[in-house]
Chains A and B, each alone.
Chain A
């Protein structure tokens, strides 16, 4: 324990009810006036550790010291009282309330019994001015773009007088430009004497922003380092335990006939917003088409329209020449379309069913899995799943294990195994490697390329720029529901320019975008 630590956590162990040990004897401490990085692979236990610090989770073993005195943090209330604030990885906002209502929730200004709305608005304006984070107090949170939501989250923590501010992957949803702005604000906060804990997967950011960094691996702390003393490569080696090559070797694509044709597609959501706005492109056999863009610019709705999950108003989507507008999800799947959903827990699996039953999914109707008298062919199902588990190196006790008791990466592998094993014609992969560790990422990316080489058409939607740039043969950039750019040759293209397209600062002209149709 360092003597100048304002806050330290000692020997923290946390076991989740499903038996997962998220933290094992972790020591962690921060000093006043520093930005402290916290890095580690997915599932290393970063969020868990910070949730313990913020009182959202309770450690099973371990102590927390504040200015040398042991304290108990059994609720966020207690943490806030100690001056700890947290900006969460997943937003914790109430969509139907306004920005100012979200901001003052819990510390509401009152006039007698009454909640003083106008004071709330006033407070929001003041705070927004003071920290140079611009927000509209009257806007409903559900109408805000993610970047603004992020700002509201930060203001929320600051309004509660946070001296120690935890930021859990605040940059995952920001564009490069927004990031620069945020970093300046964080540095300013630090210089005013606040402590900031910064969690990120992007080591470059950590290098640029932080003073010190704690590295975690598999629930354990691997030590604290001064940022000047280590390189990005060092950190990633400590994180993963080996050298990592994230480059996937692939040959130049040999595109054949077009499989998917999207023509002037328009989707309007339930809040009456045009989330996909007149999009046209086509995707050919044997190529990977990336879709880049800041989250919330219509990618999800595009994927939903193609996979039959959401309806769309105007335009058409053709798979193999067949219009899918009236088709059900099942019928679209029968055309040979497979789909890796963005959110694996909400769409991709049935958490309380077994691996076997999850691998079955849309294939449960197939003749090979059904016998006479309406019975399913249980032994075939067992054999096929055992095979898949082996082939895709899924880590589970048996194919009878409930999926919810598996790690995120392995759940993703279950989904990938199911979707890839079917010799699909068209693969719609939405964030296929989100939230999974490097090894699994490598595996999935290789598979995608393999499938491409075998003649599948792949639509790759990802918020991870590296992924899009490395895997795609060509890609689209989406902004505000529109295609903002179509990049045919990925090899000589830089991130800076991409950022400008993503932010809508620049856009290609209609002809350039029109090339995406390949006619």
Chain B
């Protein structure tokens, strides 16, 4: 047990929690926006994968990491647009369309990688670029906090800033109002002359761009190349995180961090005497447990309210 504390209390551990959480947080925010608009975006996994590859390819071609990022976002938005097209226009079930896109992404990225490099495994023969890491001047020199918070990839900071941006978008802008309205009652939106399809398209594209950030981070920050199926379920975990976070920006952030915590822990815990399979299972179990706890709390709260209201009369 002591050893676990030792690991967890090391500032480097906290640092790695933030790093591991970043792609999940991006995708969870993406999941949040589309969920608010009433569309389940199960394609996040595939979108991340495609963006990850796009980032590598275009940063290698152009020699600019930021152009790579831009293209990753572009492809994220584009694929989300495709998802929107088939689900909103062609009326394909959105879950199925999501699965299909994941399938296409998984095979398609390897296919494209193969066409470009002759490799099916990894893109290391492309000289792709990395997004910069940022040292925060004053913060950096504060003990404990400095090593935890300073020196992250620029996208890690942006991920946490995005939590605020997404909150702002959803709750403070006209677009956010429309997105929330369309998710709750599309007829209401329709009846005031806002296009339901257009609003959902916009939400999906933003969602895709968020996943695009996650993908770009995977290949241009987290590690420095693309490898097949490298998102390894992070898109699904993001869906779980959003759900666990009660479909709020802050909640999504906290549950992404929770997952990140257990993931980072699972990376370190191996050094203790626990079979690695158990340790690897930890983040997923934690997610399910988190999901259950969240939903139990919700039902309990409602139940308590009910009982209180029913007994009020008796007291009077």
Q: Do chains A and B touch in the complex (CB under 8 A)?
A: yes
Interface residues of A (CB under 8 A from B): 54, 56, 75-77, 79-81, 86, 88, 90, 92-97, 101-102, 105-108, 110, 113-115, 156, 160, 266, 268, 270, 272-274, 277-278, 313-314
If A97-B180, A106-B178 touch, does A268 touch B310 (CB 8 Å cutoff)? yes
Q: Are B172 and A266 in contact (CB under 8 A)?
A: no
Q: Which of A75, A95, A314 contacts B184 (CB 8 A)?
A: A95
What separation, in Å, do the CA atoms of A101 and B188 have in the docked complex? 12
Query: Residue among B177, B189, B191, B193 with the most chain A CB within 10 A?
Result: B191
Q: Is the CB of A156 within 8 A of B306?
A: no
B174 contacts the other chain (CB 8 A): yes
Chain B 171-190: CB-based contact to A (< 8 A → 1; otherwise 0): 01110111011001101111
Q: Which of A101, A113, A274 contacts B309 (CB 8 A)?
A: A274
Which residue of the partner chain B has the closest CB to A278? B313
Once bound together, how far apart are the Cα atoms of A500 and B296, in whole Å? 44
* CB <8 Å contact, A105 and B181: yes
Given A266-B313, A278-B313, A314-B313, is A92 in contact with B191 using a C-beta cutoff of 8 Å?
A: yes
Most chain B Cβ neighbours within 10 Å, of A76, A266, A277, A278 = A76
A75→B195 contact, CB < 8 A: yes
Closest partner residue, chain B, to A108 (CB atom): B174
Residues of chain B within 8 A of A94, CB atoms compared? 180-181, 184-185, 188-189
**Is B192 in the interface zone, CB < 8 Å from A?**
yes
Are B194 and A106 in contact, with the CB atoms below 8 A? yes
Chain B residue nearest to A106 in the complex (CB): B192
Q: How far is the CA of A160 from the CA of B177 in the complex (A)?
A: 18
Question: Which chain A residues lie closer than 8 Å to B302 at the CB level?
Answer: 270
Interchain nearest-CB distance for B189 vs A (Å): 7
Residue in B172, B192, B302 whose Cβ sees the most chain A Cβ within 10 Å: B192
Given contacts A93-B188, A106-B194, A156-B192, 15 further A-B contacts (CB under 8 A): A76-B190, A77-B195, A80-B193, A92-B187, A96-B184, A105-B188, A105-B189, A106-B178, A106-B189, A106-B193, A108-B177, A115-B173, A272-B308, A278-B313, A313-B306
Report 28 cross-chain contacts, Cβ distance below 8 Å, ordered by A residue: A76-B191, A80-B192, A92-B188, A92-B192, A94-B180, A94-B188, A94-B189, A96-B184, A97-B180, A97-B181, A101-B177, A105-B178, A105-B181, A105-B189, A106-B178, A106-B189, A108-B174, A110-B174, A114-B173, A115-B174, A156-B192, A160-B192, A160-B193, A270-B305, A274-B310, A313-B307, A314-B313, A314-B314
Enumerate chain B residues within 8 angstroms of A97, measured Cβ to Cβ: 177, 180-181, 184
Q: Which of A96, A105, A156 has the most CB of B within 10 A?
A: A105
Q: Closest 8 A-B residue pairs measured CB to CB? A: A313-B310, A77-B193, A108-B174, A106-B192, A92-B191, A80-B193, A268-B309, A76-B193
Assess A88 versus B191: contact at CB under 8 Å? Given A115-B172, A272-B309: yes
Bound complex: CA A108 to CA B179 (Å): 13
- A270 near B184 (CB under 8 angstroms)? no
Q: Which residues of B contact A95 (CB under 8 A)?
A: 184-185
Instruction: Verify B310–A266 contact, CB threshold 8 A.
Output: yes
Contacts of B305 in A (CB 8 A): 270, 272
CB neighbours (8 Å) of B187 from chain A are 88, 90, 92
In the bound complex, residues from chain A placing their C-beta under 8 Å from that of B311 are 313
- A160 contacts which chain B residues (CB < 8 A)? 192-193
Q: Which residues of the other chain, B, contact A76 by a CB distance below 8 angstroms?
A: 190-193
A86 to B187, CA, bound (A): 12
Give the contacting residue for A113; candidates B173, B177, B188; CB below 8 A.
B173
B306 neighbours in A (Cβ, 8 Å): 268, 270, 272, 313
Rounded to whole angstroms, the CA-CA distance of A90 and B191 in the bound complex is 11
How far, in Å, is A169 (CB) from chain B's closest CB? 15
Write the chain B residue with the least CB distance to A112. B173
Docked complex Cα distance between A188 and B181 (Å): 32
- Min Cβ gap A36→B in Å is 21
CA distance A102 to B172 in the complex (A): 15
A77 and B194 form a contact (CB under 8 A): yes
Smallest CB-CB separation from B313: which chain A residue?
A266
| Contact A115:B176 (CB < 8 A) given known A94-B184, A105-B188 | yes
Q: A105-B178, A113-B173, A115-B177 are in contact. Are A86 and B310 (CB under 8 A)?
A: no
Q: How far is the CB of A137 from chain B (nearest CB, A)?
A: 15
Complex alpha-carbon distance, A314 and B310, angstroms: 7
0 or 1 for each of B272-315: is its CB under 8 Å from A? (1 = yes): 00000000000000000000000000000010011111110110
Asked if A105 meets B177 with Cβ closer than 8 Å, knowing A268-B306, A268-B309, the reply is yes
Bound form: Cα–Cα A81–B306 in Å:
46
